[in-house]
């Protein structure tokens, strides 16, 4: 039986961890290095670090902060934000990341996924998708630049394309649910999970342990990511895992 993973996420801006609602109204959530150490000790399965303004500001990810965070971790570590070329991936992996997350750059240049996968292996390449429901599309639309720009891609179609090109994992964020704490977007996660052959990480909307259970059982996700409920100590990784175990979910 495949083990379900619980993944805290550090959204980093100007060297600090921040959290907002639907990508807006960011507030401070602490120091990334201290939080990384805390989550490692608490039993998180992995950690995701996203430099959320790098693509929008047209700059590279903060390598020095990545190095400091990596120094605290014994768990797999994914880094994204401002990774636009193979050289950027090399720099981030050398700094201590285990995987790189591509979002805006992958949409603008899908060949980047292929390059990364052929050089480092698919297991290193996570394609992050920011999804927002679009009435005119009757489905979810892919957004880039930290959720600021709509694209022509429909989410399921883009997820399939990313996997065909070599993505080893999909990090799927529901912009509609992000920070709302009303639960993960089950329909979105189910649609993508059933369409691709690689693990899907559900992101956006976690408010309690029951939401993680729904993401796994109904949404068919392989992992679930959360930020504010862990950062602000509303619940803990340990408590979520204990609850999932009590419900028969296989967790580490």
Catalytic residues: 11, 130
SS3 of residue 40 by DSSP: helix
Q: What is the DSSP string of 104-143?
A: HHHHH-THHHHHHHHHH-GGGEEEEEEEEEETTTTEEEEE
The DSSP 8-state label assigned to residue 51 in this structure reads E
Calpha distance 26→195 (Å, rounded): 33
Pair of tokens at residue 136: 């005119």
Calpha distance 127→107 (Å, rounded): 9
CB 16 within 8 A of CB 32: yes
SS3 of residue 186 by DSSP: helix
Q: What is the DSSP string of 15-53?
A: TEEEEEETTEEEEEEE-HHHHHHHHHHHT-S-EEEEETT
Closest CA to 29 of 132, 129, 21: 21
- Report in angstroms the alpha-carbon separations of 47 from 35, 87, 123, 152, 237: 10, 22, 15, 30, 12
- 54 alpha-carbon distance from chain centroid: 15
């Amino acid at each position: 039986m495949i083990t379900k993973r619980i993944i805290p996420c550090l959204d980093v801006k100007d060297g600090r961890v921040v959290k907002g609602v639907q990508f807006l109204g960011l507030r401070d959530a602490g120091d990334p290095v201290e939080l990384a150490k805390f989550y490692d000790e608490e039993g998180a399965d992995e950690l995701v670090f996203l430099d959320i303004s790098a693509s929008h500001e047209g700059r590279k990810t903060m390598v020095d902060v990545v190095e400091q965070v990596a120094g605290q971790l014994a768990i797999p570590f994914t880094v994204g934000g401002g990774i636009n070329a193979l050289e950027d991936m090399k720099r981030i992996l050398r700094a201590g990341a285990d995987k790189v997350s591509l979002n805006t750059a992958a949409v603008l240049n899908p060949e980047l996924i292929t390059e990364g996968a052929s050089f480092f292996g698919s297991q290193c390449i996570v394609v992050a998708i920011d999804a927002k429901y679009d009435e005119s599309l009757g489905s979810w639309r892919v957004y880039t630049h930290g959720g600021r720009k709509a694209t022509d891609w429909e989410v399921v179609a883009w997820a399939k394309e990313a996997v065909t090109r070599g993505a080893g994992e999909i990090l799927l964020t529901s912009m509609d649910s992000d920070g709302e704490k009303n639960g993960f977007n089950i329909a979105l996660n189910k649609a993508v999970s059933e369409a691709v052959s690689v693990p899907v990480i559900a992101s956006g909307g976690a408010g309690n342990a029951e939401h993680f259970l729904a993401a796994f059982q109904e949404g068919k996700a392989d992992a679930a990511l959360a930020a504010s409920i862990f950062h602000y100590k509303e619940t803990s990784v340990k408590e979520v895992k204990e609850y999932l175990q009590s419900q028969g979910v296989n967790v580490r």
